[in-house]
Amino acid sequence: MSNDWITVAVLVRPRGVRGEITAVSQSNHPERFAQLKSVRLFPPDRPYEVERVWDHQGTLVFKFAGVDSMNDAELLRGAEVRIPKEERVALDPGEYFQSDLIGCEIRDHATKRLIGRVTGWEEYGGPSLLQVDGGRILIPFVKAICVDIRPADRVIETRLPEGLEDAQTTPGKS
């Protein structure tokens, strides 16, 4: 079931005494929150009706139906706010959902040699880094390196800078 749902925010802490709770957005499309009517929270893995979502001084705030006290909101701390995959916002050409790239094979563009699989992401303020095989290799997610991205085929073809693969070590080895 988890592949059918996409996380759009993570609940952080109660705000006020009426059941409101702050959240960190996991979406680059903040306009999406105004249209939310129903979501699923994981945990507890159940649907919630959204009464209102708003931005308060740069912080996302949710109010769910039936969550009417600080104690009710506290029980939701850390839950992921998820929507059905088919309700994701439309992306512009050249944009990708991270969740669609996890599990893609990384292949050399020229030789088609398998380098590994995308297992996660790292963000440090610059370009995103694809974690390959649990971090064995970190590949900048930029067009000059990731030259052919085909999520439907589960493949990302790359032109790795010379030495990138050799310069990184396997976790636990030096």
Q: Is the pLDDT of residue 170 over 70?
A: no
More confident position, 37 or 166: 37
C-beta of residue 148 within 8 angstroms of C-beta of residue 108: no
Give me the percent of the chain exceeding a pLDDT of 90.
Answer: 65
C-beta of residue 151 within 8 angstroms of C-beta of residue 104: yes
Measure the CA–CA gap between 11 and 26, rounded to whole angstroms.
Answer: 11
Instruction: Note the pLDDT of residue 126.
Output: 87
Model confidence pLDDT, tens digit, residues 57-103: 989 999 999 999 999 999 999 999 999 988 888 888 888 888 889 99
CA proximity to 157, closest of 95, 100, 105, 120: 105
| Domains and their CATH numbers in the chain | 2-87 (2.40.30.60), 98-167 (2.30.30.240)
Model confidence pLDDT, tens digit, residues 6-31: 889 999 999 999 999 999 998 878 88
Whole-model pTM: value is 0.67
